[in-house]
């Protein structure tokens, strides 16, 4: 990793440099006079060669030396050209010509100096930008509209392992996985339409063949005429960040599984007790044995259902499935039903029929479980849990169709100080029992499903409570599979 900072030194001339500049101005005047003397052509209009001298001095030495060059040139024109002898009078026409010469020379010197200063500033800015790009820790790559690499900074060399000598002139596809070639082609098509590709997460390949998770953004580059000349891509390595986030998610899932253990233990106790009793009765009552065995099969089915629901919290799927959010919430509530009853929490549930979205069932169970658990833990002395699952339509943004899930409680509420931070990792209001990852994980699940989550809360005694509102679109655009 590159550390430190870049400093830019602004040149300040010494007094000896200034003396040399003004001496050069006088020398330029003398040189102009020599050229005039040696070239008969210049005798027709002596002002031209002296104005060129003024412009030269202004361009390379500044406005002050150019003014000195102007006045020394005027003196030479007056006493060496127009008046060969000091006693000869200068005519009014020659005086006017000298005045015009000095005015034009000063004006030209100012314009030349202004242009020189603008060019110098432009060069400094280019040097600064080049230094920033070169030393940036992010990988900054430029390439043609056909995907041929034209520049490669130190950050790109550190990220991908290729040196500039190895990669310049080669296709950008060298660092793109085979299965993401379509993504590269899509980006190039958008760039040829002069569209910017916003930041998104994707995969790239290191020189040694390892996979990298990067945050990538691509922008078109235009030349001085405004025409498309190529593109630049900025990549940031987020491999370790993603690994850390994934580890945190797994840990939180395990923590949730641990919290489920108590609920599952309560749920399986009744079917197990019923099984023991039914097996005992079947051994001693041959006439009712078939009925006892039928009831035992029902209890085994209940146990299997509980086990499947518990596995749903830890089972991961690689592709989204068509599912009903209301059914997932019913499964979560069934696991926590006994605990909710023990805490004197009444449930008010309203769901519509025919709801369906495309999503990951295990992660959505995790989302609903976190919201319900938080609501339950905020109602220590009992309360009311209201859950509403309805078909919804966005009225802003993309105006997508989807499902809105509302989880409201009459608990203690969240303070105004804590509310802006509840979705941050490791932030918790439950000092002893909270991990600070539940709502962060829930927010990440909602984002993965291209939805949004809003929360309102009050801590006023007698009317406190919290409301979480989640919108899940019918067909989420997964960031991991998007090209933009």
The yes-or-no verdict on residue 379 having pLDDT over 80 is yes
pLDDT in tens, 181-200: 888 888 888 888 877 787 78
pLDDT of residue 253: 64
275 domain-assigned: yes
Q: How far apart are CA 31 and CA 40, in angstroms?
A: 15
335 and 421 together in one domain: yes
42 and 92 together in one domain: yes
1 domain-assigned: no
CATH number for the domain including 387? 3.30.565.10
Among the candidates 237, 253, 272, a domain finishes at: 237
Q: What is the pTM assigned to this prediction?
A: 0.46
324 and 311 together in one domain: no
- Strand-pairing partners, residue 203, are 213
Question: How many residues appear in the chain?
Answer: 484
Domain that holds residue 71: 15-134
pLDDT of residue 3: 39
160 and 127 together in one domain: no
360 and 439 together in one domain: yes
C-alpha dihedral (28, 32, 38, 41), degrees to nearest 10 = 150
The yes-or-no verdict on residue 479 having pLDDT over 70 is no
The yes-or-no verdict on residue 292 having pLDDT over 80 is no
7 domain-assigned: no
- Strand-pairing partners, residue 322, are 358
CATH number for the domain including 255? 1.10.287
The total number of structural domains that make up the chain: 4
121 and 200 together in one domain: no
278 and 409 together in one domain: no
pLDDT of residue 347: 93
478 and 378 together in one domain: yes
339 and 467 together in one domain: yes
Task: Tell me the average pLDDT across 49-78.
Answer: 74
Q: How far apart are CA 106 and CA 69, in angstroms?
A: 10
Q: How far apart are CA 31 and CA 64, in angstroms?
A: 19
214 domain-assigned: yes
The yes-or-no verdict on residue 433 having pLDDT over 90 is no
Residue written as token pair 């006439």: 287
9 domain-assigned: no
- Strand-pairing partners, residue 471, are 404, 452
335 and 470 together in one domain: yes
Task: Tell me the average pLDDT across 353-365.
Answer: 86
348 and 456 together in one domain: yes
Distances (CA, A) of 479 to 202, 363, 449: 8, 16, 9
Strands 228-237 and 383-393: unpaired
378 domain-assigned: yes
């Amino acid at each position: 990793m590159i550390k430190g900072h870049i400093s830019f030194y602004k040149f300040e001339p010494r007094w000896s440099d200034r003396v040399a500049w003004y001496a050069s101005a006088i020398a330029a005047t003398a040189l102009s006079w020599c050229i005039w003397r040696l070239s008969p052509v210049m005798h027709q209009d002596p002002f031209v060669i002296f104005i060129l001298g003024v412009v030269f001095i202004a361009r390379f030495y500044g406005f002050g030396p150019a003014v000195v060059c102007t006045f020394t040139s005027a003196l030479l024109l007056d006493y060496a050209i127009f008046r060969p002898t000091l006693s000869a009078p200068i005519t009014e026409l020659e005086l006017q010509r000298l005045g015009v010469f000095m005015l034009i020379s000063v004006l030209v010197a100012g314009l030349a100096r202004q242009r020189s200063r603008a060019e110098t500033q432009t060069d400094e800015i280019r040097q600064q930008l080049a230094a920033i790009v070169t030393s940036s820790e992010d990988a900054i790559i430029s390439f043609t509209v056909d995907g041929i690499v034209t520049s490669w900074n130190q950050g790109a060399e550190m990220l991908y392992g290729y040196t500039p000598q190895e990669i310049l002139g080669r296709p950008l596809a060298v660092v793109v996985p085979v299965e993401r070639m379509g993504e590269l082609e899509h980006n190039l098509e958008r760039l040829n339409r002069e569209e910017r590709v916003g930041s998104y997460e994707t995969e790239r390949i290191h020189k040694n063949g390892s996979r990298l998770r990067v945050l990538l953004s691509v922008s078109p580059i235009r030349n001085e005429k405004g025409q498309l000349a190529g593109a630049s891509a900025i990549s940031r390595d987020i491999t370790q960040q993603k690994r850390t986030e994934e580890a945190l998610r797994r840990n939180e899932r395990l923590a949730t599984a641990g919290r489920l253990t108590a609920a599952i233990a309560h749920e399986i106790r009744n079917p197990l007790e019923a099984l023991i009793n039914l097996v005992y009765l079947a051994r001693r009552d041959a006439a009712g044995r078939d009925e006892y065995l039928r009831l035992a099969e029902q209890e085994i089915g209940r146990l299997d259902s509980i086990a499947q629901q518990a596995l749903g919290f830890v089972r991961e799927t690689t592709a989204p499935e068509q599912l009903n959010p209301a059914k997932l919430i019913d499964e979560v509530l069934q696991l926590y039903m006994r605990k909710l009853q023990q805490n004197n929490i009444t449930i008010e549930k309203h769901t519509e029929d025919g709801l369906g979205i495309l999503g990951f069932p295990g992660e959505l169970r995790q989302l609903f479980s976190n919201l319900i658990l938080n609501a339950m833990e905020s109602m220590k002395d009992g309360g009311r849990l209201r859950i509403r699952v309805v078909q919804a339509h966005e009225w802003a943004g993309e105006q997508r169709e989807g499902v809105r899930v509302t989880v409201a409680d009459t608990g203690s509420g969240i303070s105004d100080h804590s509310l802006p931070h509840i979705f941050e990792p490791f932030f918790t209001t439950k000092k002893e029992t909270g991990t600070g990852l539940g709502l962060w994980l829930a927010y990440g699940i909602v984002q993965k499903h291209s939805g949004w989550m809003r929360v309102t809360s009050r801590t006023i005694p007698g009317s406190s409570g919290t409301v979480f509102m989640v919108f899940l679109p019918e067909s989420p655009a997964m960031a991991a599979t998007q090209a933009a």
